[in-house]
Amino acid sequence: MNSKLNWINPVLEKEFRLRMRTVRSPLSILAYLLAIGLIALGFAYINMSHLQAGVLSTERSSELFYFLSGTQLVLIAFMTPGLTAGVVSGEREKQTLNMLLTTQQSSGTIILSKLFASLSFMLLTVVATMPLYSIVFLYGGVSPKQVLAVFVFYVFVMVLFGAVGIFFSTMLKKTVISVIAAYGFVLFVFGFTALAGLFFSNIGRAGTNEEILGYFLSFNPMAVLVSLMVPDFSKQVFKGHTYLQMWHIFIVSYTVISIVLIWLSVRYLRPIMKRKS
């Protein structure tokens, strides 16, 4: 092994080589950038056409930032499970998992290496979109602190959905089934939390309606992203809790879930031998 890669274990090195040396990887990044770029330029053009001066105002620039950030979160939620939900089941289908398990690499090393390799590609794709945010800084209305908070939130969401994909890929034998299960979790997180919050807030007491909705929305990535970009949103739903923010609940709860899912993936990667009584 090259001395420059001594700090990289063989599994991680293999994943990097297979993922980054194919033509599909740069084409995927190019397609992602084209999609985000066209959406951002289209939004800016539509809003500029309604203005007499033909330039974006500070208010419109903020709206562009919100729209661009929300669109990117949806794309991350769409791409991350697809990158991770087949990393273990794919090895099983190719009948190479047993060979991988006979190496000196531990189960934790294998799971974390595959997770990190998948997320590194997704992280590279998201970082490549940072120049698009220069449009927002050009017209003002958004602070660098907000942009940094949004990108850190993206990384956390990647880890969460990556852990979900790895878990289903380890527990389920077929890649197709694990991908469907991973996307089902994403749909549950985005859709059910919002619908359940609206349902329980409508049947709750008048004074606690917004607070109940806030607790449910604290598990919704899109709602938490909005609260990071518009801090007053959390204050409106948590009127009785001055210091409580939606991202506090989101980070704590999903950190525990991610750790548990990764631990279960490590635990059940290797077949468990039943003890004879």
pLDDT tens profile 82-136: 889 888 888 888 888 888 888 788 888 888 888 888 888 888 888 888 887 777 7
* CB 232 within 8 Å of CB 242: no
Instruction: Report the alpha-carbon distance of residue 118 to residue 88 in Å, rounded.
Output: 12
Position with higher pLDDT, 28 vs 220 = 220
How far is it, in rounded angstroms, from Cα 13 to Cα 79? Answer: 22
State the pLDDT at residue 57: 62
Cβ atoms within 10 Å, residue 185: 18
Look up residue 208 and give its two tokens.
């606690």
Give the global pTM.
0.85
Listed range (52-66, 127-141, 144-158) with the worst mean pLDDT? 52-66
Task: Give tens-digit pLDDT for 150-169.
Answer: 999 999 999 999 999 999 99
DSSP 199-252: HHHHHS-GGGHHHHHHHHHTT-HHHHHHHHH-THHHHHH-TT-SS--HHHHHHH
Q: What confidence score (pLDDT) does residue 254 get?
A: 95
- Pick the residue with more confidence: 54 or 64? 64
SS3 262: helix
Taking only Cα atoms into account, the Rg of the chain, rounded to an integer number of angstroms, comes to: 21
192, two tokens: 């059910």
Kindly list the domain boundaries of the chain, sorted by start residue. 8-267
Give the model's pLDDT for residue 10: 73
9 has a pLDDT exceeding 60: yes
Q: Which of 104-113, 207-216, 262-271 has the lowest mean pLDDT?
A: 207-216
pLDDT above 70: residue 23: yes
User: How many residues does this entry show for the chain?
Assistant: 277
